[in-house]
A and B are shown apart, each in its own frame.
Chain A
Amino acid sequence: MGGLVYFSSRSGNTRRFVEKLGLTAQRIPLDPTAPMPAPTAPFVLICPTYADGEGRGAVHKQIIRFLNIAENRGRMRGVIASGNRNFGATFACAGDVISAKCRVPVLYRFELAGTETDLTRVRQGLDRFWKTQFSTAT
């Protein structure tokens, strides 16, 4: 099974989602001067969306800093994006931006801190995803 890396601002929605998920995960720090996690194995990124009405600024600067490190980007296998459907077409669009930039699939989208259904789907989805990842060449 691969790893998880996530970012969560002080509103804490993504952090609560990851805690309920109950899987080991590394957190990208809020503080720009704090050390970045350096995953040594393939991982999936879980990230919230901060877009304005035009979709600008969707990906938090700290996530961009993390992905600007080539080793991190190279180990990322997919992205799970969160957001709020109330933002219409830009719902969870941070996932789309990262997918397009880094050529990894958007694995799942959820709202705010997620529901029980989201947790089940993500647990099962990740399980299946890593099995196929590791059975084919990585």
Chain B
Amino acid sequence: MKDMTETRRIPRAINWNRMQDDKDLEIWNRLTVNFWLPEKVPLSNDIQSWSQLTEEEQRLTIRVFTGLTLLDTIQNAVGAPTLMQDAITPHEEAVLSNIAFMEAVHARSYSSIFSTLCSTPEVDEAFRWSEENAQLQQKSRLILDEYDSAANPLRKKVASVFLESFLFYSGFYLPMHWSSRARLTNTADLIRLIIRDEAVHGYYIGYKFQRGLERLTESERQEIKDFAFALLFDLYEIESRYTELLYDPLGLTEDVKHFLHYNANKALMNLGFEALFPDDVCKVNPAIMAALSPNADENHDFFSGSGSSYVIGKAVATEDEDWDF
């Protein structure tokens, strides 16, 4: 019998002054500047707002957050570490270690919300629910199966981008909905920090996917693309049922589904693919869009109609030394 323990190769010390891929440095910088912890958000200011939600609304919110916690847990413990094994550059490995840690911060954050707003039995009940909920378990299984099939690094990246850029959004919808009604606005601030991070993660993993895809033959590329769309269909089926289960009682299901379609298309764009859902089923409620990016539409753009399209004295930091005119 052959000795099963292989001697580990000693890695080369990482040199950040010799980059093989500038994107690694760009994303490292972006992620480290964006670093945050839940303690930064004054969640206790939401205690009164929380008490104004009905019992049903509270239960839904806690359940949604346990579902999000599960996805973050998977990405922290399995997703990002498994992508590290496929890293092409040492810097990519370092960026993925940052992603893994931030996923742990995200998972931690939901517990901060719970300990601030909810009672222990309510939270325990919701965690039990997340372990028994068929759709949550099914989507986790589909993603984990890809992470565990060591054979294909690109399939792992597809699964990872779908988790980061699509699966979270059935959950993210709810705090954006509350925020649009001036409820749980501090909690929404914290969720927006998570949303911002997930956007960078999906973009970066999608970028690395595109670099890997370039090395394949046309028929191999087509095979991966077919796999990606098939996985998205399977995940979408599960997400539809999950959405109905959670949001039917509030009458929000159709609204949430538009948000899912919109985000599914963005996940595909991160992978470099064309959109799947036509624009007429991606009409996200404007209140949700505004909750997602507050202030972003203060300056109307020129083609879209009225309003000043010039920006006057808006405080956006720029590196003035670079603009020498």
Contact = CB atoms under 8 A, between A and B. Distances in A.
B311 A100 contact: yes
A116 B279 CA distance: 7
Nearest to B298: A89
Interface in B189-218: 192, 195-196, 198-199, 203, 206-207, 210-211
Interface string B298-320: 01011110000111111011110
A125 interface: yes
B296 A88 contact: yes
Contact of B301 (A12, A103, A106): A106
A109 B318 contact: no
Contacts of A25: none
Interface residues of A, number: 56
A92 B324 CA distance: 23
B279 A117 contact: yes
A91 B291 CA distance: 13
A68 B270 contact: no
A26 interface: no
B311 A96 contact: yes
A68 B320 CA distance: 12
Interface string A69-93: 0100100001000001111111111
Contacts of B266: 84, 111-112
Q: Which size bracket describes the interface of B in this complex? A: 35 or more
A12 B325 CA distance: 29
A68 B266 CA distance: 33
A56 interface: yes
Given A84-B203, A105-B309, A122-B303, A11 B296 contact: no
B195 A112 contact: no
A50 B33 CA distance: 13
B318 A52 contact: no
A57 to B, nearest CB: 7
- Tell me the dominant secondary structure on chain B's binding face: loop
Contacts of B282: 115
A108 B302 contact: yes
A113 interface: yes
Contacts of A11: 23, 203, 206-207, 210, 272
A61 interface: yes
B322 A86 contact: no
Contact of A106 (B196, B269, B270, B309): B309
14 contacts: A56-B318, A59-B318, A64-B323, A73-B325, A85-B289, A85-B292, A86-B199, A87-B199, A88-B292, A90-B296, A92-B296, A99-B309, A106-B310, A109-B296
Interface of B: 23, 26, 29-30, 33-34, 192, 195-196, 198-199, 203, 206-207, 210-211, 265-266, 269-270, 272, 275, 278-279, 282, 289, 292-296, 299, 301-304, 309-314, 316-319, 322-325
Interface of A: 9-13, 16, 50, 52-59, 61, 64, 67-68, 70, 73, 78, 84-93, 95-97, 99-101, 103, 105-109, 111-113, 115-117, 121-122, 124-125, 128-129
Given A86-B195, A106-B309, A115-B265, 13 more contacts: A57-B319, A64-B323, A68-B323, A73-B325, A91-B293, A92-B296, A93-B316, A96-B299, A97-B318, A100-B310, A100-B314, A107-B302, A125-B302
- The 4 lowest CB-CB distance pairs between A and B, nearest first, are A125-B303, A86-B199, A105-B309, A91-B296
